[in-house]
Amino acid sequence: MDGATSAGGATLNVADITGFTNGKYIGVILDDGSQHQTTINGVPAGTSIVMTDVIPVGRSAPNAAAVVEAVELSGSAAIPVHMVSWPPDDWVVFTNGVDVPQRWDGTDCTDIPGLSALTLTTARTVSVFKYQIHLGNVTEAGVGYPQRIRYCAIGGPSTWNSGTAGFADLWDTDDPILRLALLGGKQIIYRGHAIVRQEYLGTAANLYGYYPITVGIGIIGTLALSNSGPVHVFMDAENVYEFDGNAVTAIGDPIATGLLIDGGDITPEQRGRTCALHLHTLNEDWFIVPTAGESVPNVLYRYSRRYKSWSTRAFANKISAIGEYARDTSLTWVAAPGTWTDYAYPWGYTGLLTNATTALLCIGDGTSVVEYDVITPTDNGTGIAYTVATKDFSVPDAKIRFDSVEVLASGGAFVIQYSIDGGSSYTTLGTASASIERTPQRFYKQFVAERFRLKITGTASGFQLGWLRVRFRPESLY
């Protein structure tokens, strides 16, 4: 920049407008080191660029700040973007399976240096292992090598065809490499129907060794893996598995039949878009999957490591990607820019505290990112739909005469229903009124059945269930 722009300003004075065009995305570095991202509003003229979004409150774009135009890539929504960091040069390295793998240095994006010597044009997954960038499932000189791993020289991210740079073709099975991930000092290669462990040997003849772990179990998509560090949790075509580097253990039996097995809820042709995350603050593994014919992931399946249990929830928005974020320093009221009304956070919000991790969700159309906090009572302003369901109640060698159910709860209004056919259909017992304090509410209904279950549903925030008490008695089968 040739001159500063203050908060609220929309015009940037730059040394040269060459290459900047109307409607294109740009980024300008602000005084706190962050990048203000917006689009160009109108045709640049002279040395001026007008932005669609003004410089935010409390910030400025200082003199000599970098202004860059976003690189336009040709990625497909059907192929997830995969990225890692390369700490020696402070890069973010990413690939989208369509364009040449990129590196971002905090200012701009370019092709990873050195790949042109191989005419390597695409890769499906990327990792950093043993001080080398690794690319999996690549295209070189116009030929696809879905079973190939290509890696740069040790400590040389721009050297791909000499020294310790090299490649390996894993032709023991024909399924493609979909994900590279580190685990316990080794690299795990996840394929469509197999898992391979990569170990560093360090000899001139064999820099790495490759050891098959499973055949018949693999991963459904590049991002369908939750990495907590000690273990991986990943989604296969038929189950969810935990992998500790040696043994693979199924943990998804409670959801596999309804979600993954033939006829399950997952959208088969879009299952590769499933994205996952290990949320450290809750010690949970999250999988957001496309269901009910949706092309973009829309339902969250949560696995609690503590309770060894699964739960689900449907978001108000479709989600195309998920990540985890932690602040370097706490944001205090004194240091926060703007006014009190600029902050819509609830009391007790953890996302402003040092090292407090929160989940970041990319809205399905890719235009915005929202932050998920476990105490926030809405989904991006929309009430959260919830369901609390019981098991089937039955009495051996007898029928049941149902009389009433009493519920102690607080929050907004909710509906309580019963089912006598295992949950295939439900009949409404009644609607509970909203209550600030936990208040018992009773619902009466006389019916006779071999079994019954109950379900509570609602959308109001702040719902809390204290207990549920049912009155019934056995009745003769005859």
Last residue of a domain, one of 13, 42, 70: 70
Q: Is residue 98 located within the same domain as residue 212?
A: yes
Are 203 and 191 within 8 A, CB to CB?
no
Q: Is residue 152 located within the same domain as residue 60?
A: no
Q: How many domains does the chain have?
A: 4
Tokens 């109001």, located at residue: 460
Name the 3-class secondary structure at 342. helix
Q: Is residue 45 located within the same domain as residue 96?
A: no
Average model confidence (pLDDT) across the chain: 91
d(CA 313, CA 385): 8
Is residue 88's pLDDT more than 80? yes
- pLDDT band, very low/low/confident/very high, at 346 (cuts 50, 70, 90): low
Q: Is residue 87 located within the same domain as residue 207?
A: yes
The whole-number pLDDT of residue 347 equals 59
How many residues would you count in the chain? 478
The whole-number pLDDT of residue 415 equals 95
Which is higher by pLDDT, 287 or 281? 287
- pLDDT band, very low/low/confident/very high, at 344 (cuts 50, 70, 90): low
Mean pLDDT (whole number) for 447-470: 90
Dihedral sign (CA 464, 466, 472, 474): positive
For the ranges 24-28, 109-113, 164-168, 348-352, which has the lowest average pLDDT?
348-352
- Residue 319 CB partners (closer than 8 Å, separation 6+): 275, 288, 296, 297, 298, 300, 361, 362, 363, 364
d(CA 84, CA 82): 7
Q: Is residue 264 located within the same domain as residue 184?
A: no
d(CA 239, CA 189): 18
- pLDDT band, very low/low/confident/very high, at 108 (cuts 50, 70, 90): confident
Q: How is 93-106 classified by DSSP, letter by letter? A: EEE-SSSPPEEE-S
For residue 87, being part of any structural domain is answered with yes
In the numeric block, which tokens belong to residue 169?
């073709």
Any idea what the CATH number is for the domain that residue 196 is in?
A: 2.130.10.10
- Residue 344 CB partners (closer than 8 Å, separation 6+): none
Q: Is residue 143 located within the same domain as residue 211?
A: yes
For residue 97, being part of any structural domain is answered with yes
For residue 451, being part of any structural domain is answered with yes
Q: Is residue 91 located within the same domain as residue 171?
A: yes
Last residue of a domain, one of 186, 218, 250: 218
Q: Is residue 329 located within the same domain as residue 439?
A: no
The whole-number pLDDT of residue 348 equals 61
Are 267 and 217 within 8 A, CB to CB?
no
Mean pLDDT (whole number) for 45-69: 93
- pLDDT band, very low/low/confident/very high, at 106 (cuts 50, 70, 90): confident
For residue 236, being part of any structural domain is answered with no
Q: Is residue 265 located within the same domain as residue 341?
A: yes
Instruction: Give backbone dihedrals phi and psi of 377, rounded to 5 degrees, phi first.
Output: -85, 0
pLDDT in tens, 189-212: 999 999 999 999 999 889 999 999
The whole-number pLDDT of residue 278 equals 95
For residue 304, being part of any structural domain is answered with yes
Mean pLDDT (whole number) for 161-170: 96
In the numeric block, which tokens belong to residue 474?
């056995």
Q: Is residue 322 located within the same domain as residue 424?
A: no
Any idea what the CATH number is for the domain that residue 18 is in?
A: 2.40.30
For residue 64, being part of any structural domain is answered with yes
Q: What are the strands, taking DSSP E only, across 194-349?
A: 194-200, 208-215, 225-227, 232-235, 240-243, 248-250, 275-279, 284-289, 299-304, 309-314, 319-326
Q: Is residue 87 located within the same domain as residue 188?
A: yes
d(CA 17, CA 45): 7
For residue 263, being part of any structural domain is answered with yes
Q: List the domain range (segments joined by +) for residue 28.
A: 1-70
- pLDDT band, very low/low/confident/very high, at 304 (cuts 50, 70, 90): very high
Mean pLDDT (whole number) for 387-412: 92
For residue 249, being part of any structural domain is answered with no
Say what the pTM is.
0.81
Q: Is residue 61 located within the same domain as residue 119?
A: no
Last residue of a domain, one of 50, 70, 90: 70
CA 233 to chain centroid, in Å, comes to: 14
